[in-house]
Amino acid sequence: MIVGIIGMGLIGGSMAIDLKRRGFAEKILGVEKEPVNASAAASIGLCDEVVTFEECVDRSDIVVIAVPVGAAVKMLPRVLDRFQASDAKGKIVIDTCSTKSQMVRSVHYHPFRACYVATHPMAGTEYSGPWAAMPNLFDGRACIFANAEESDPKALATVEKLYDTLNMRPTYMNAENHDVHTAYVSHISHVTSFALALTVLDKEKDEKHIFDLASGGFSSTVRLAKSSPDMWVPILTQNRENVLKVIDTYLEKMREFRDAIEDFDSEKIESLICDANRIKKIIR
Amino acid sequence: MIVGIIGMGLIGGSMAIDLKRRGFAEKILGVEKEPVNASAAASIGLCDEVVTFEECVDRSDIVVIAVPVGAAVKMLPRVLDRFQASDAKGKIVIDTCSTKSQMVRSVHYHPFRACYVATHPMAGTEYSGPWAAMPNLFDGRACIFANAEESDPKALATVEKLYDTLNMRPTYMNAENHDVHTAYVSHISHVTSFALALTVLDKEKDEKHIFDLASGGFSSTVRLAKSSPDMWVPILTQNRENVLKVIDTYLEKMREFRDAIEDFDSEKIESLICDANRIKKIIR
């Protein structure tokens, strides 16, 4: 099978590595608009050929859109248009974006909608670009299929096989639920990390040595603040309503904490921490 | 040298392991008020003997106070009183607490103040109790010495040797600066993690499967929310003023983010994220 990957970054590049070496793809075509990234992807060996968007869509059996969601939402209809122009009903396009509602909405009435399978492989690191690509990135993680009933069953089965090759656990839900869930378990964590980084970096202007004391706990809490704006600006704007709702709940909790500390209310602080400790049942 | 450790938890227990096996302590005496923890500490072999507070102070060359800071601030004067009662000028007491101002203030005018060396070994995990103790916990981390000039130089040298045995990097600062710094690089991270856990756990009441999607990024951001109230209630109340100041700056940053998202202000979101990305120069 020929797999065309548009966007040879962390996600696209890591997919390329494992789909090729595990025998799912006999050939990987890569599309990359940044010349530096394109030549890196080629020389690292992430793809067999760097091609144009049009060539990728025409020659691939499966097209993977692995670009930030702002660009993806414009690119998806163009891929389906091109499938339609050549009446290529057996072709498949998937995306890997972190928000799903706008993606599925953008092609809801497209005559070739059934060729599209909306997915979100929930894996990643805070790094980006072809240099960040790595083998085994997806192993053991969850992959969401959104609105799977709108896809052609044969296309769906092929994409399920693709993610099975990547050792991912499939989960099915509608796009709206997906976006609510990810606002809670992914998007808010990024916003809180960004804000934490800004807070401490601000202080560093006066206190040069403040980071000498940074502990492992601090690093882990602030790690996501290294994530790129190219990826996160479109996520936060596309998932605006859900993200705002979560931020508001979060701000309430912060304020409860703040007030308890201001009031020296040890009992209240203790009860908040005990409640928060219930997270132990979720994460190891 | 006989080392007496009061509080055989994560910090006290881990110290015990490395001070003994690296030959700094020929004998470890342990004090532990929780009977379950005491018998665990003994059977794990963290200490050679479990003894009473009084016996520990009388028989040890160095007493290590490794209990939560609320209890520590009451215990420290009692140790110095007992040194004084037996006119034991060569004895040493140290503490390992995460806030230092109240500790040094509590014995500032004590006639035996010079026997006390205020330290904060900046290492730990989100776990507690003797079962959490581990070898090599302190290797390569920073240890703060607060107000070192108020300690007897010979006592200071001995304690420096103790932390050198633990492979820690010594840093010297006054207690007030310590508490400002740790508010930024440690205490605030805990508060934001607790609040994040509360936010998501709240949502889980309606959405049972929300955590199925939790990614590595979420786990890392929320990890500190497993930290115990016994340790954190006294830290947050003792370092109240600094912590409140940092929370307020943090809330401002969160609100900037929130407003930019609400206004669909992509440029502003991008500039906030780019600013936050400068954290890369600090953490790998």
- Binding-face residues of B in 187-246 toward A, CB within 8 A: 188-203, 207, 209-229, 232-234, 236-237, 240, 243-244, 246
Residue of B nearest to A182 (CA): B213
Quick: pLDDT tens for B24-55: 999 999 999 999 999 999 999 999 999 999 99
pLDDT mean over A81-88:
96
B27, B50 contact by CB (below 8 A): no
Structure-block tokens of residue A185? 């378990």
When the pLDDT of each residue in chain B is averaged and rounded to a whole number, the result is: 94
B188, A199 contact by CB (below 8 A): yes
ipTM: 0.89
Q: Give the pLDDT score at B8.
A: 96
Q: Give the pLDDT score at B210.
A: 77
pLDDT band at A51 (very low <50, low <70, confident <90, very high): very high
Structure-block tokens of residue A211? 């980071």
| Domains of chain A (ranges, CATH numbers) | 2-173 (3.40.50.720), 178-281 (1.10.3660.10)
Quick: pLDDT tens for B99-113: 999 999 999 999 999
Residues of A in contact with B245 (CB under 8 A): none
Contact A198 B276 (CB under 8 A): yes
Quick: pLDDT tens for B233-277: 999 999 999 999 999 999 999 999 999 999 999 999 999 999 999
CA of A262, closest CA in chain B: separation in Å?
A: 7
Which tops the pLDDT comparison, B121 or B214?
A: B121
Residues of B in contact with A185 (CB under 8 A): 200, 210-211, 213-215, 218
Q: Give the pLDDT score at B212.
A: 75
Q: Is the pLDDT of residue B161 over 90?
A: yes
Angle of CA points B56, B12, B140, to nearest 5°: 135
pLDDT band at B191 (very low <50, low <70, confident <90, very high): very high
Structure-block tokens of residue A203? 């202080």
At B181, the amino acid letter reads H
Structure-block tokens of residue A49? 């050929």
Residue of A nearest to B123 (CA): A215
Q: Give the pLDDT score at A29.
A: 98
The residues, ordered by sequence, that sit 6+ positions from A63 with a Cβ below 8 Å of its Cβ are A4, A5, A6, A56, A57, A79, A91, A92, A93, A94
Q: Give the pLDDT score at B214.
A: 77
Partnered with residue A143 across adjacent β-strands are A121, A170
Phi, psi of A95 (to 5 degrees): -130, 165
Q: Is the pLDDT of residue B204 over 90?
A: no
When the pLDDT of each residue in chain A is averaged and rounded to a whole number, the result is: 94
CA of A41, closest CA in chain B: separation in Å?
A: 24
Q: Give the pLDDT score at A91.
A: 98
Residues of A in contact with B207 (CB under 8 A): 180-181, 184
pTM of the model: 0.88
Give CA A175 to chain center in angstroms.
Answer: 14
Contact A198 B144 (CB under 8 A): no
- Identify from A273, A277, A278 which residue to disrupt to test chain B contact, counting B C-beta atoms within 10 A and taking the largest count: A273
Q: Is the pLDDT of residue A163 over 90?
A: yes
Q: Give the pLDDT score at B203.
A: 87
CA of B90, closest CA in chain A: separation in Å?
A: 31
Q: Give the pLDDT score at B5.
A: 98
Contact A210 B184 (CB under 8 A): yes
